[in-house]
Structure 1
Amino acid sequence: MKKYSHSKLTKFIVFIIMIAFFSGTITTLVKIMTIPFNSVLQKSYFESAAYIQESQGLISDLTKLMGEFKNEENILNGGTISEDELKDKEEELYFQFQNSKKYNPKLSEEENYEQFKKEYADEIAHERDKFIQRDLREYHLLLQNMDDYETPLFYASDGTNVYTNTTMKERQEFETYPAFFIFDHYDQEIYPKETRENDYLYWITDQVNELDPENTVIYLAFPDKFLNTNIKEWKENSALSAKNLYKLTYLVPGFILSFIYLALVTGRKSFRDQEVHLNVIDKLYNDINVLLCVSLIALYTVLLDLLFEMNNKMILPITVLIAAIGFVLIFSLIKHGKNKTLIKHTLLYNLISQFAHFIGDVYRNGSLAVKTVLLAVGYPLLVALTFFIFPVTLGVAAWFALKKIKSFNAIQAGVEEIKAGNLQYHIDIKGRGEFARLAENINSITDGLRNAVDNELKSERLKTELITNVSHDIRTPLTSIITYVDLLKNEKDPTKIEEYVGVLDQKSKRLKVLTDNLFEAAKASSGDIPVHLEKIDIISLINQGLGEVGDKILARNLEFKLNFPADKLFVTADGRLLWRSIENVLSNIFKYALEGSRVYVDIEDLGNDVRLVFKNISASELNISADELMERFKRGDESRTSEGSGLGLSIAKSLIEIQRGKFSIQIDGDLFKAIIVLPKYSQE
């Protein structure tokens, strides 16, 4: 075996054997495909799919006629149109209406839909008529099909309409035949009895069961002559299928074993040989090889269709010829796979590699001037080398020059637009050339200018809002203080004096809180706060902090649900500033959370970071975006009746950011989420 295993003669003989096995397998499979394969698995004709298929088409047509269409009047009245398909068409038309000038955004959706129904009444009626015409065509086509059925003999009625291809009308007449199906209202009788064992019987019964049994009568009968012919054909097909299956039991293993053997020994001179020996055929590029293999398969498929109709005897020789050529190409690919040159030995890879190498050299070693010189020198050389396709070369050069001119004009027009003050203008130059980089740099400058303008406008707006909101919030307690001071001047009653002093005390404390918060917000946003980063146990901090605000939790009847890992989590933060941020979030929860609701606190380990999430249900509807709520002096209650200053979340965000963390909020309906992300403590 060692002596002859890799010899050329042994390989040639095994190759011939493999082609014989493969061709035999293919031709056998072709024969199996031409006959009902499952006939070999069935005991008798009455248990076969072929027997059920003789009635399936007729039953399907009768089911549609009696169940879906009923009669022409029902179709004309729209009885066959489903609500879903009509609704789908209405939705398509309504979408057109929404994008038209007739749509009024000031009206409610219901009012717009009523307007749509009036405006598009003709279009909706037209679509309905199209459905009716479609069903009428199918209905009359089915009536024509009834005339084409010679067997089985049938009589069907839904109590009004009758469909038949025989003069028989009574059940007893159909029961005289050797095989029949009787569906008489709720009664079903099938003969011969072995038909009930047919695995495909549901193809018929499921369709009949969809009809109204109260009025439905369907009788089917098969004459002796028809059955004898079909049974004989079925037995012949069954025997042929068994014979072909037996062939496959030795053809397929023979082909697989011979193919595996050749795949192992091809390109080698012995089992110990590590070198792959290539021949003339292996010089063919692998991508061209694959293309040829695909072409051979396509050619064989076309020839197979032609030979089925013209000459079946030619299938085997054509299969042998194409298989021999195809497997020679396949074994060449296997050799390159062993040689690890399956990709490298392709025409596409070589062209791309050489072109990439050339382009790389130009870009690495030359400036724009060098590239221009190379182009000026290289183009005449290219024309000289490709003189026989000069029009193509000239066309490529013209296309390249036109593309560059368009890029230059686009940049020039973009600069003019930006100079005119249109900072939203974007110069769109595709590719990776000099013009593309220049356009990208100009766009970056434009983006910077636009961001600067936007930031300046936002800053001005915030300043205006700050002045307005500060004035409003400070004026309220200040007005109260002035009023009660005036009352104190003229009041003699000690009880009322004490009451006025209490109010003054409350309002002055309120004024102090506002000024302190304003001062803290200014310091936080400017970053002018000393930060001492250290190792903080975030889980312990939360547990300890919730214990300190337990009275506030009880006052609002809130239930806190904590979810955190079993192991301790440490973050790098300033403990005082971190607790101040968390305290602001909790204060926001105590002010605006729905009383008696749950508050969820989740602590998650993200690998390099730790995320802290607070979730609560707001007591009032949040008609404000998350970005607006983060702005200074913004509150969840726009009426500004609560005791908050609107600075808590803004301060928390600034304090977290100066600790190298991230703070964000999310609003989903009435669900409010505050998210704090801090860097995880590392000993490095």
Structure 2
Amino acid sequence: MKLAAKTKFRNSLLARYVFIILIALCIWPLVFPVGSLIYYVQSQLFYPEEFNIYDSRNLEKAWHQEAKTLDKAAEDAVDAKLRALKEQYPRASMFWVDASGRLRLKLGVTVAIPEQWTMADSMQFMKSSYGGDPFTVVAFIGEDPKQGFMVVQIPRHMMKNEAIYPSNERFLTVFILSVFSFFLFTSWLFFARIRKRLLRFQIAMTETDESGIPQPIAVKRVDEIGQLGLAFNHMIDQLNGARRREQEEEALRKQLIANLSHDLRTPLTTIRGHAYSLRKETLTPKGKQSLDLIETKVDNVAQLIENLMSYTLLSAGKYPLQTVRTDVLRLCRTSVASWYPVFEKEGFDIDVQLPEAALYWNVDPQWFTRILDNLLQNIVRHADSGKYVCVRTEERHGTTAVVIADKGPGIHAETDNKGAGIGLTIVALMIKEMSLKQDIVSSRDGTAIYMYPKI
């Protein structure tokens, strides 16, 4: 599988996030004016009359216009006009004073004002009202100070100011926070999707099939994570290919061992038959010694072939296993008894320390006997320098273990007759299949192999 080319910048995650940042930088300077415009438009659409009449500039202009229309009007006409304006501006308080300084009419006024105005009162009122709260407009009737004046007052919090900005601070605050929240949500969504894809990728890496290899993942986007997914799929293809080659090589190896074992048995049988015939002939002592060596080597090769076949069957799971509750100490005594003549012939010191009480394990009797035979045979072949073999029981890790020990040079020692270790490999496989455990303690002073059930 050929890996995809390097991700182009426009398809990368970096490009997408930079795009989000650029959009935010471009939009942010427009937030304030756009918010103000939106506020103005919605105010005109939903509250057009109220928005206009309580605007300070519109109110001041309208009030002076109304005062101008009352030029030389009678007192009753001025009263009627103020009452009409009160209906138009229900939030406002109004009053008017005639040319003599007498208070003629007041509507909605809640504060104390003079009934008779002097020049000083008028100047003090205008001075205190300018720029204050409530918002105050004073207009001369008919634009002539000699005809009197009329006043309108509105609390500033109840009106629209001359500029849009100070009056819609709350709206702008909400609008700005909304825009900020939108970009914050967009960033969160961007990284949440990345995290979701990474978690899916993590799950794909940890979940395996029966072969122990993860399954390929679907790659939908050609960005950095997509490239990582393609690389992961490439690795999976490589592992599957290696696993297939390993299985093919393993099958070929097993077939080769089976064929080799079958092909070697025929000549070994022939050699063993001729050796038997030679033993009937009259031989010199040196000839007998050579014949003994031939028979020993033939037996060794036959045992090696048997081990190879057993290993092939065990690794393929085709070696029959039937576990039953068995007294393993009886099997130990039987195996030691069968090997006793061999040890005695080789001059071994045999030390058997097995209790009389039975020790029951769930094992296959034939498999366990094969384990004992392999271990005892290894002692004869590779630990003959110690001339000692011991079969005993010992408490280990809270249970009773069967121990096979010798005083040879140790497993790791280099000797002329050291084998390939197939016998010990077969022992390890059989122990594992029967749910037993094995501990090997080896040094230059000897080797002890502990076998005991898993707790």
TM-score > 0.5, shorter chain as reference: no
Query: Which of the pair is proportionally richer in helix?
Result: 1
TM range (shorter): 0.3 to 0.5
Query: Which of the pair is proportionally richer in strand?
Result: 2
TM-score of the aligned structures, taking structure 1 as reference length: 0.28
Structure of larger gyration radius: 2
